[in-house]
Structure formats: C-alpha cells, structure tokens
A and B are shown apart, each in its own frame.
Chain A
Amino acid sequence: MKRLATALTAILVLAFLVSPAFAGKIEDIKKRGTLVAGVKDSQPPFGYVDEKTNQIVGFEIDIMKFLADKLGVKLDVKAVTSSTRIPMLTQGEVDIVAATMTHKKDREGQIDFSITYFMTGQRLLVKKGGPIKSVKDLASKKIGSVKGSTSEQNAKKAEPTATIVSFETYPEAFLALKQGKVEAVTTDEAILVGLKYSDEKPEAWDIVGDYISPEPYGFGLIENDSKFRDFVNVSLMEMWESGEYKKVYDKWFGKDTKNYIPLTWTMELWP
C-alpha cells in the first residue's frame, strides 16, 4: 500500500514537471515559427482534403493562413475530430481550433472562444416536394441529426413531439433520410448545403424552414490567454474591414460556388 502511494505520488509529481510552464501562446508560436491549427478534414467547404493536391483546404484554413501571415509564421494544420479537438487544444498540441464549432455558453468552461467568424443557423434538409415545409410539420415524426453537434436539443425544443435520431456522421444521417427512416436531417445550413451537393442528384433535396437556432461559429482558444485571444479577435475584425474576409468568403460560399450562401450577417466590430 505504501509502495503504491509512493508510486502514485511520483507519477503525479512527474506529470506536473512535464506540463509546460505557462508562457503566452503568441511567444510560443513565434519561437516555434509555426501556427498549429486544428481543423476538420471532411467538412467541405470549411476544411477538407483536396483530391488533386492531397492537402487540407477550405474556408477555415484560409482564415488560419491569414492569422499565420500576420504573426509572420508558417501555418501547420492538424486534422481534428469533434472528440479530439478539445483535448488537443488543452494539451497544447494545437494552438487554435477552427472546426465548425458553435459558440455555446455551456462550452465556455473548458476553453475560450473567439468572436464569431461565421454565422449560420440550423435548418432542415428534406425530400423536395414532400410534406415537410417547416419544423412544425415534423410533429411526432423522426428527425435525423449527428452526435457531437448541438442540433439535437434545438430541434427538440422547436418541436417537442418529434423524435431525434442521432448518427455518427452526416452521410449516415443522409442515408437514413433516403431510406425514409427519418423525415428530415437537421443541422447548420452551411453543412446541409455541403451534404445536399454531395448527392448524385442534389435537385431531389431541399433545405427548408426558418432558422431553428442561430449557430455562431467561434475559434477555440486556450483558457485565460487574453493576449492571444485579442490578437485573433482584432485580426478577424481587420479581415472584415479590409474586405479580405469577403474575398475568402466568396471563394468558398460565393455565387460561383456550389455552396452558395449569401453573406447576410455582420461581424461584431469593436469601436
């Protein structure tokens, strides 16, 4: 017993010793020469692997590139999933997480968020010409969603009699919709657009209804490093004011792309 206690103490002491002394992220990044960003690799057009170059590209990667350029360092992207993004950030394996993450109050306990860099809302993907026109038409019907997203509770709130069936990935939820197992798939509009156009016949599907809930995306940042958070926030505002943001937005969501979503919101700009 005594030996076990000694061993445990030794492990704990060791664990404290190896945890890095807390210096500012900006100094760390500049010293290292790279900004390490955790991004999605299968969420077009936010972050996905380009078939031709085998590189991760996308809207979020372009914004990360802007931040890296401003710091005068190289950008290094690491693919994260919904379950690895927070541990990787808190353990310092990535400096910042840009992974279609909705900024929620309940999520504030573990990490900090940047200001909103992308604004979308939760809507419904349904069969075109079907009976579903809004969330109210889904009373006592089944709605498909994806685990790890915040969509489930929102849909439940909007239509309490509906049953929500959550799947592992969006393609599975879409397959359930095609097989009639669910009447609609619900999540952020920006993701639904990508899902719709991943189908062979995109015209068979429709995105309907008002926004069930607003989904402001924020970058995930480590807690209590206000210097780095300020840098990210101010950079985002500069990007917006200089028109650089619009340029990047149009590249991925503009009229000429298949993911066309009009830019209807305004970034929070501090005076």
Chain B
Amino acid sequence: MAYQFDWELVVSGQYGDWIVDGLITTLQISGISIGLALVLGTLACIMRLSKLKPLEWIAWTYIEFFRNTPLLVQIFFWYFGSYTVLPDSVNAWLNTVNQEFACGVIALTFYTGAFIAEDLRSGIFAIPKTQLEASRACGLSFMQAMGYVILPQAFRIIIPPLISQFLNLIKNSSLVMTIGVADLTYMARQIEAHTFHGLEAFTVATLIYLSISLVVSFSIQQYNMRVLRAAR
C-alpha cells in the first residue's frame, strides 16, 4: 500500500495559511535574533579581548558555556528554568506577555552570539597586531581603535563564517517550536497531525527553509563582492 500524495491540501486553503503564518514567524524570530546576536557577539568579543580581567572572564565564561551546551537545553532553561530564579512579580508579568517568542529570541541570540564572538575574534587575530599598536600610538582609545580600525576589517574577513552562523540560526529556529512558538516546523507538524499528510507538509517546509537559506547566503555574498571589494 503506497503513500497517497496530496499536494493540493498543503499548499492551499486552511493548511496553506498555516504554512504562511509559520513562515512569517520563522522570518521574524530569525531576523530579530540575528540582529541581537550580532550585537551581543561583538560585545562579547571585545570584552574577551579587553585588558580588564573581570570583563575577559565574564566573556570567556559566557562564550564557552553557550557554545558547548545543546541549544534545546538552553531553550528549556530560558523558558522553564528561569521561572525558578526570577522573582514572582517578574514571572507574573512575563506570563501576561508573549513569553514563548521572547524566550525563543533570547535562546537563539545567546547561542549564536557566542559563536559570532569566536568567529569575530579569529577575524581580529587575522589583522596584524601592529595596526592596533599604531592606532593606540596615534592617540585612539582601545574602543576607538576597535571601532574605526580593527572591527571594520575583521567583519570583512569573517563574512563567510558569519553567513554560516546566520544560516545555522535560521535552521536552529525550528527548535523554538518545543516551547510553543508557532514557526514553520511547528505548522508542518500541526498539518501532519490533522491530515496525516506529513510527507507533503515537511517537503514544503524543507523547500521553504532551503529557499530562505539560499537567498540569505546569496545576498550576503553579493554584498561582499560588490560593496566590500569596491571599498578596498
């Protein structure tokens, strides 16, 4: 008895709407998390390279902890575990807002931020140390030297690994369905539950993930080639 395919079911009507809703949620949570992860990763990287020992330790602990524990565990930690440490009043407030989405963003941001920090650090190490020394000798502060001289060059070098981190984040975002964020994977599961046509639902979801990833990859490559090469 072979599987009966029914593509019509998944791409139109109520179930088609679910796919679209899921796609929008996936794009939202990925977009917000990528922006925040970039900021957090940069911050953690600078802290790790700074001469202030406590800052370096905090950054080191953060990076090693979040890079070396499973994302799924982290998602559960932010969603269920944080409840036990936060004060009751904060919990009561959290329960009234869209906590699932927020916890998903926090988990993805912290996880990807740790990887971005490491990528950025390797990019900074690729820039001759003399540049920092020269900048400091010219009278720039550490932060100024970083902001004007080192980081712009480092970001250019790490564009390929950065793309990988973005793509990883988009794919990892499917894990937030475990805490009830209705993303694309969640919707595919939901369609499967309702119709038992899981193969079609997951094929469509797979193709959508593939398209998003290819588009992101392609646009950043283009940006890299046109804008950054020209600036050199």
Binding site for B on A (CB under 8 A): 19, 22, 82-83, 86-87, 90, 92, 104, 106-107, 109-111, 142, 144, 147-150, 152-153, 165-168, 172, 175-176, 179-181, 222-224
CB pair B192–A107 under 8 Å, yes or no, is no
Chain B residues contacting A165 (CB-CB under 8 Å) are: 100, 179-180
Q: Is the CB of B196 within 8 A of A19?
A: no
Tell me if B12 counts as interface (CB < 8 A to partner A). no
Instruction: Name the prevailing secondary structure of the B interface residues.
Output: helix
| Interface SS of A by simple majority | loop
Q: Check if B195 sits within 8 Å of A179, measured CB to CB.
A: no
- Interface 0/1 of B192-217, CB less than 8 Å to A: 11111110000000000000000000
Does the CB pair A180–B95 fall under 8 Å?
yes
* Alpha-carbon gap, A150 to B192, bound state (A): 11
Check A109–B95 contact: CB distance below 8 A: no
- Whether A223 pairs with B1 at a CB distance below 8 angstroms is yes
**Chain A contacts of B91 at CB under 8 A?**
179-180
How distant is the Cα of A106 from the Cα of B180 in the complex, in angstroms?
A: 23
With contact pairs A109-B4, A167-B179 given, residues A153 and B83 touching in the complex (Cβ less than 8 Å): no
Task: Check if A107 sits within 8 Å of B190, measured CB to CB.
Answer: no
Chain B residues numbered 132-191 whose CB sits less than 8 Å from any CB in chain A: 177-180, 182, 186, 189-190
Cα(A82)–Cα(B80), bound, Å: 24
Instruction: Please report the C-alpha to C-alpha distance between residue A83 and residue B83 in the assembled complex, in whole angstroms.
Output: 30
Total A-B residue pairs with C-beta atoms closer than 8 Å? 76
Q: Given A167-B178, A181-B95, are A148 and B1 neighbors across the interface (CB < 8 Å)?
A: no
Residues of A within 8 A of B17 (CB): none
Across-interface contacts of A168 in B (CB, < 8 A): 178
CB distance A22 to B180 under 8 Å? no
13 contacts between A and B (CB under 8 A): A83-B192, A86-B198, A90-B2, A106-B194, A109-B9, A109-B195, A147-B193, A148-B189, A148-B193, A149-B193, A150-B193, A167-B180, A179-B80
CA distance A19 to B9 in the complex (A): 26
Pick from B3, B83, B189, B196: contact of A147, CB below 8 A: B189
Which B residues lie within 8 Å of A167 (CB)? Answer: 178-180
Q: Which one of A106, A175, A222 lies within 8 Å of B1 (CB-CB)?
A: A222
Nearest A residue (CB) for B196: A110
**Once the chains are docked, how many angstroms separate the CA of A223 from the CA of B6?**
15
B151 to chain A, nearest CB (A): 39
Chain B minimum-CB-distance residue to A147: B189
B92 within 8 A of A: yes
B99 at the interface (CB under 8 A from A): yes
Tell me, rounded to whole Å, the shortest Cβ–Cβ distance linking A165 to chain B. Answer: 4
B1–A22 CB distance below 8 A: yes
Q: How far is the CA of A140 from the CA of B92 in the complex (A)?
A: 16
A227 CB to closest chain B CB (Å) equals 14
**Across the interface, which residues of A come within 8 angstroms of B99, CB to CB?**
181
Nearest B residue to A106 via CB reads: B195
Q: Known contacts A109-B6, A180-B95: does B194 contact A153 (CB below 8 Å)? A: yes
Q: Which residues of A contact B92 (CB under 8 A)?
A: 180
